[in-house]
Amino acid sequence: MSMRDEYRTKAAEFHARALYEPSPRLRTQYENLAKSYLRLAEHADRHAQLDTVYEPPPPMNDNSDRKR
């Protein structure tokens, strides 16, 4: 399962909890968590479309510290 799918699943779980939560304060918190996970899913979706490869820069070959 991709991260996008995991985030959407978690958002659905929090939304379902909010529907059955009797406390208004906790219901709001669950809804906020659901929205946050949906945003994470959108970000994961955008990043998956970029197809960007991140590589560390090559090591610097600094010989100034070496004694001859």
45-60: per-residue pLDDT in tens?
A: 887 777 666 677 788 8
Residues 10-28: pLDDT tens digits? 999 999 999 999 999 999 9
- The C-alpha atoms of residue 68 and residue 62 are separated, in whole angstroms, by 14
32-42 average pLDDT score: 96
Look at residues 68, 1, 7 and name the one whose alpha carbon lies nearest to residue 41: 7
Look at residues 44, 13, 54 and name the one whose alpha carbon lies nearest to residue 31: 13
Domain range list for the chain = 3-50
- Cut 0.85: pTM above it: no
- Do residues 9 and 53 lie in contact, with contact meaning Cβ atoms separated by under 8 Å? no
The reported pLDDT for the residue numbered 53 is: 62
